[in-house]
């Protein structure tokens, strides 16, 4: 099997899974309980929080646990809308955001909030000048992803941060799900960023757990009210085994990137050059300011899902851009935002790599691709 769909989800590290199992077996207390078992569980919870904070070089009190990226995005957008309603009702997102942001913004619009959408250029990068023109006195939030999950474009978070320095009361949120461990942190977690969202299963942790970075001093209303967990900001008993496993997975993931910082970039470049040699192949992902693990391309006249299933028959697993929309057969929103014609956008296929990916796998991928390309050409 060749697994090239790591932007959809990653395999949990064996050591992280071992941590999950052992924590489940050995730590039975509720972190909110007053007795010794609860104290033991709470101590482990805070250790995990501290480790994640240290890995991001932030304060432990700025880390809040969630069920994943979707909850984190919903929390920041809706929590800001509620907390800052007295200051304004205008929100700005980009045209290439993940549905967790885009559809949340649509819901807020139905509730009376005003939402503006900043456009991207033909390469999928947010047009910073046009985003700046959308800012109004009633703007309360700007939300832009760190790395686009479909094309791999590293969004200009630093340039947007520079603009927002002049607007200190506007919350700045970055969906960093595809960025952490893949792109240098300085590019997406600038001092101006107020909130960032993360999901463990994107960096070899368990599914159904994540966290947000919440800069101290910023206002955010809770979505879940109840028992007062997470310093009163997210009520529900913490998923302690998953949280502890997530903290270990993040540490391991960042260590592996430090050991081989250019590993996926080398494989991606090989695939990009090999695919570009085919007349009917169009490469959608660029080189400069693109993440080193995502490569999106298409074969003229061949729908993306056809190629995905043809590769699957050879035990090679890729996706049609975003995994969250591929099963529903929703076309790539990013390619449409880039003004790519519909018939071309529907050909898109995403290869997403990881530190476990090898050059031998990439070479085998090209052997199979060459066979399929010839087969499709004969059919056409």
Pair 185, 172: CB distance under 8 Å: no
The catalytically annotated residue of 159, 306, 310, 324 is 324
Radius of gyration of the chain from Cα atoms? 21
Residue 265: closest CA among 362, 370, 121: 362
What residues contact residue 60 under an 8 Å CB cut-off, 6+ apart? Answer: 46, 49, 50, 53
Ordered alpha helix ranges (H), the chain: 14-26, 36-56, 69-83, 99-110, 128-134, 157-164, 229-232, 240-259, 263-276, 304-312, 323-326, 333-337, 342-345, 359-379
Phi, psi of 71 (to 5 degrees): -65, -40
In sequence order, the 6+-apart residues with CB closer than 8 A to the CB of 22 are none
Rounded Cα distance between 2 and 292, Å, is 18
The two structure tokens encoding residue 167: 């607007």
Is there a contact between 349 and 297 (Cβ–Cβ < 8 Å)?
yes
What SS3 state is found at 109? Answer: helix
Query: Does residue 114 have an active-site annotation?
Result: no
Residues that are catalytic: 324
């Amino acid at each position: 099997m060749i697994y090239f769909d790591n932007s959809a989800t990653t395999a949990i590290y064996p050591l992280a899974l071992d941590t999950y199992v052992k924590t489940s077996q050995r730590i039975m207390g509720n972190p909110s309980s007053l007795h010794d078992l609860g104290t033991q569980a709470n101590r482990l919870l805070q250790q995990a929080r501290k480790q994640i904070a240290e890995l991001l070089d932030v304060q432990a009190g700025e880390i809040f646990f969630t069920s994943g990226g979707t909850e984190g995005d919903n929390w920041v957008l809706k929590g800001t809308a509620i907390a800052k309603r007295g200051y304004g009702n205008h929100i700005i997102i980009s045209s290439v955001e993940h549905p967790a942001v885009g559809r949340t913004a649509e819901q807020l619009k139905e509730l009376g909030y005003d939402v503006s959408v900043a456009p991207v250029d033909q390469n999928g990068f947010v047009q910073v000048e046009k985003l700046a023109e959308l800012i109004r006195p009633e703007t309360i939030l700007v939300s832009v992803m760190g790395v686009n999950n479909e094309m791999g474009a590293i969004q200009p978070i630093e340039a947007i941060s520079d603009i927002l320095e002049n607007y200190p009361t506007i919350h700045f949120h970055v969906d960093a799900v595809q960025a952490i461990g893949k792109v240098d942190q300085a590019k997406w977690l600038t001092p101006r960023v107020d909130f960032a969202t993360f999901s463990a299963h994107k960096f070899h942790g368990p599914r159904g757990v994540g966290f947000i970075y919440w800069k101290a001093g910023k206002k955010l209303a809770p979505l879940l009210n109840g028992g007062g967990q997470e310093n009163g900001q997210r009520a529900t008993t913490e998923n302690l085994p998953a949280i502890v496993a997530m903290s270990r997975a993040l540490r391991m993931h960042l260590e592996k990137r430090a050991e081989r910082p250019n590993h996926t970039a080398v494989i991606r470049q090989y695939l990009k050059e090999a695919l570009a040699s085919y007349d009917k192949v169009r490469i959608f992902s660029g080189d400069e300011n693109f993440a080193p693990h995502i490569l999106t391309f298409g074969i003229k006249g061949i729908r993306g899902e056809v190629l995905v299933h043809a590769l699957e028959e050879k035990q090679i697993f890729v996706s049609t851009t975003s995994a969250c929309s591929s099963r529903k057969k929703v076309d790539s929103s990013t390619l449409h935002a880039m003004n790519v014609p519909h018939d071309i956008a529907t050909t898109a296929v995403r290869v997403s790599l990881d530190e476990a990916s090898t050059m031998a796998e990439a070479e085998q991928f090209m052997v199979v691709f060459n066979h399929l390309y010839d087969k499709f050409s004969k059919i056409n």
